[in-house]
Amino acid sequence: MAKSKYEYVKEFETDDRMLRNVYVLVRIDGKGFHKFSQTHDFAKPNDVRGINLMNHAARCVMHELDDIVLAFGESDEYSFLFRKSTDLYQRREAKIVSTVVSLFTSAYVYYWNDYFTDLKRPLYPPVFDGRAVLYPSEVEVKDYFAWRQADTHINNLFNTSFWALVEEGGLTPKAAEARLCGTDSKDKNEMLFTEFNTNYSKLPAMYRKGSVLLREQIPKDADKDAIIPTLPETLPGSKSAKVVPVLDTAITESGLQSGPDPISESVSEVPSGQSSPIAVDSPFVSQEMIMQEGSSTISSEGKKRSIDANEAERQDGEEGPAAKKEAPAFKRMKKGVVIDHIDIIGEKFWTGRGAYILAPEKKKKLRP
């Protein structure tokens, strides 16, 4: 076919394909959310509607892009990790980043009213920026997520302390800042406990640890694309799944974290500028949930069982009769995106629920 005389302009386009065989990480962040959160009267320092909306938007991205194996969200940001061998858009950076940012932003606006029920749509269009970072090995990937979760912890502890001093303690913001200057995590925990009767470690994990999106087993008859919220009572307008909270934290905490908080107590602390007091008596339970779809029920215990069954099936025969007993249950499961608020700092996550994320993939033959 004859080319038009204008076609030469295509030659100006650059090849932005990212290096092969390294991890692609895309992080999006709200532009000017200091103002956006104020304009929309976000609760301080954590607005559960805003966090759930962020989580919903992130889940939409994961549903659309199968190569994303893990996502982590806090404040106005979300990080998405692609599997090492992703060939999405031939690894073209602009295509990948713009698709993630665009889908996230449109979902944020599209589902806005499900969360902010008293406001039909945002008062002005929210903007998110995005970037891709390449990480050569598992070490950097693990440290990346540890960095983001440590940031969540530091900012949330600071903001919780700051707004307790201002709102409950009657200090001016300036005086509150001065009071917190030079304090470490231990000091802040103690201050919250002794002066404000607040046990920081008992505050919702979603605030303290951020949100982790994983690909795990869900009941076969559940819609893979349905949004499976974890915090039903905070999800007005959510019709896609009937959910009830798991109140038995003993189950959900087991295998996730035991012993001291892995986040260093002596980490130097830089506030994010986020503000205001936390709803200590917040009604939600930020743990895994039971999801009920018709007759299928998956609970944290059930999910654990299904993962165990998954493991058992992989090791076929090695586990003896127990593995065989679990197999039928596993057959009724399929992969979906689930959300939790767990520690991703430390090996426990990467060798446990996160083991599939960095698992070796079949090497694709590169053409000579």
Query: Which positions lie near ligand DGT, rule CB under 6 A?
Result: 29-34, 37, 42, 44-47, 50-51, 75-76, 272-276
User: Cα–Cα distance between 320 and 14 in angstroms, integer?
Assistant: 56
Cis peptide before 260 (omega within 30 of 0): no
Residue window 77-96: x/- pattern of binding to Mg ion, with contact defined by CB under 5 A: x-------------------
Determine if residue 352 is labeled as part of a ligand binding site.
no
Q: Collect all residues with Cβ–Cβ distance below 8 Å to 51 and sequence separation of at least 6.
A: 73, 206, 207, 211
Measuring CA to CA, which residue among 331, 341, 334, 332 is closest to residue 288? 341
The C-alpha atoms of residue 262 and residue 72 are separated, in whole angstroms, by 17
Closest by CA to 51, choosing from 77, 22, 85, is: 77
Task: Tell me: is residue 29 an annotated ligand-binding position.
Answer: yes
- Our measurement of the distance from residue 33's CA atom to the centroid of its chain's CA atoms, rounded to an integer in Å, reads 18
Minimum Å gap between C-beta 160 and ligand DGT is 12
Shortest gap between Cβ of 121 and Mg ion (angstroms)? 20
Residue 34 contact, options Mg ion, ligand DGT, none, Cβ 5-8 Å cut-off depending on partner type: ligand DGT
Integer Cα distance of 339 and 241 in angstroms: 14
The answer to whether the annotation marks 75 as part of a ligand binding site is yes
Q: What is the chain's length?
A: 368
Residue 42 CB, nearest distance to ligand DGT (Å)? 4
Q: Is 31 annotated as a binding residue?
A: yes
Burial of 272 (0-12, 13-18, 19+ CB in 10 A): middle
**Piece of 27-35, 49-57, 283-291, 328-336 that binds Mg ion (CB under 5 A):** 27-35
Residue 29 interacts with Mg ion (CB under 5 A): yes or no = yes
In terms of Cα–Cα distance, which of 303, 302, 300, 326 is closest to 314? 326
Among residues 273 and 352, whose Cβ is nearest to Mg ion? Answer: 273
Measure the CA–CA gap between 37 and 48, rounded to whole angstroms.
12
- Measured CA to CA, the distance from residue 226 to residue 61 in angstroms comes to 13
Cβ 342 to ligand DGT shortest distance, Å = 20
- Site membership for Mg ion, residue 114 (CB under 5 A): no
Give whichever of 100 and 309 is closer to ligand DGT, judged by the CB atom: 100
Q: Annotation-wise, does 34 bind a ligand?
A: yes
Which of 274/287 has CB closer to ligand DGT? 274
State which residue, 46 or 217, has the beta carbon closest to ligand DGT.
46
Q: State the nearest-atom distance from the C-beta of 99 to ligand DGT, in Å.
A: 20
What distances in angstroms separate CA 113 from CA 109, 170, 213, 327, 351, one per listed residue? Answer: 8, 34, 22, 41, 38
Determine contact, residues 339/253, Cβ cutoff 8 Å: no
Interaction between residue 126 and Mg ion (CB under 5 A):
no
Q: In the chain, count of helices (H) and strands (E)?
A: 12, 9
Residue of 358, 360, 342 lying closest to 350 (CA atoms)? 358
Query: Does position 271 bind Mg ion by CB under 5 A?
Result: no
Cβ distance to ligand DGT smaller for residue 54 or 60: 54
- Which residue is nearest to Mg ion, using beta carbons? 30
The nearest distance, CB 31 to ligand DGT, in angstroms, is 4
With CB under 5 A as the contact rule, the residue among 23, 24, 26, 30 that binds Mg ion is 30
Name residue 244's beta-bridge partners.
290
Q: Which is nearer to ligand DGT, 127 or 355 (CB)?
A: 127
Our CB check for Mg ion shows the closer of 47 and 326 to be 47
- Is 30 annotated as contributing to ligand binding? yes
Residue 282 annotated as binding? no
Residue with Cβ nearer ligand DGT (39 or 106) = 39
Among 23, 33, 80, 111, binds Mg ion (CB under 5 A): 33
76: contact with Mg ion by CB under 5 A: yes
Closest separation between CB of residue 294 and ligand DGT, Å?
34
Q: For residue 28, which phi and psi values (nearest 5 degrees)? A: -110, 155
Binding positions for Mg(2+)? 29-30, 76
**Binding site listing:** 29-34, 75-76
